[in-house]
Structure 1
């Protein structure tokens, strides 16, 4: 696996998914899985910070697993140990989040309900 380059001088700048332009297939796949997982868990606004972090880790890991699968299926060589490690990691992350869908809270806000009923 490639290693991350270290900066020559100056401050270390940590990158996040929001720093990416998102045009690569891997970024699109990760963002789509993030949205799907958030939806399955009842919506992004209902997740704790820890759950949000696990969702991102699971989605990025999923994009890496998908890349290794596509490499193998197209006849390329890939690291079996890396694949199994990543697949198991994704399973652990998804299991920690829960594999069942959570219902969304569709109860209207009381103020909005009264205003709508009055109008």
Structure 2
């Protein structure tokens, strides 16, 4: 840490919000609705594409991208049912989503599954010494 920089203390789990401690994705939203289930699916897939360990800043972008994706899917469902949608709003939202996904990185990143030296040695040599 640079000299003179203030240390940032991490909040204890009981002092964090439900969103911050991972118990909720959105404040005050019932997670059982079909829309919320789809939101969780898309968010999980985007996180997996990044190797399941995105930074908080990246999570902010992922949540925004997920919101736009869910909205677009809802508009597409309306269109498929013969309902009118605003093509201008839809196009703007798709463009915003594309830009967010571009910022996030559209390429899938491999998750690091390299074992630690300790686990490798334990797996390799367990049972040989007796």
Alignment TM-score, normalising by the size of structure 2: 0.70
Structure 1 unaligned segments of length 5 or more: list them.
Answer: 1-14
Structure 2 unaligned segments of length 5 or more: list them.
Answer: 1-23
RMSD, aligned CA:
2.1
Q: What's the counterpart of residue 31 of structure 2?
A: 22
Aligned: 1:58 with 2:65: yes
Q: Which has the higher helix share?
A: 1
After TM superposition, the runs of 4+ consecutive aligned structure 1 residues lying more than 6 A away are none
Offset, 1:27:
1.2
Bigger relative contact order, structure 1 or 2, given CA contacts below 8 A and separation 6+? 1
> Considering only CA atoms, is the larger Rg found in Structure 1 or Structure 2?
2
Offset, 1:16:
5.1
Offset, 1:118:
3.9
Aligned: 1:83 with 2:57: no
Alignment TM-score, normalising by the size of structure 1: 0.76
Q: What's the counterpart of residue 99 of structure 1?
A: 106
Name the count of aligned residue pairs. 104
Q: Distance in 1 between matches of 2:25 and 2:49?
A: 23
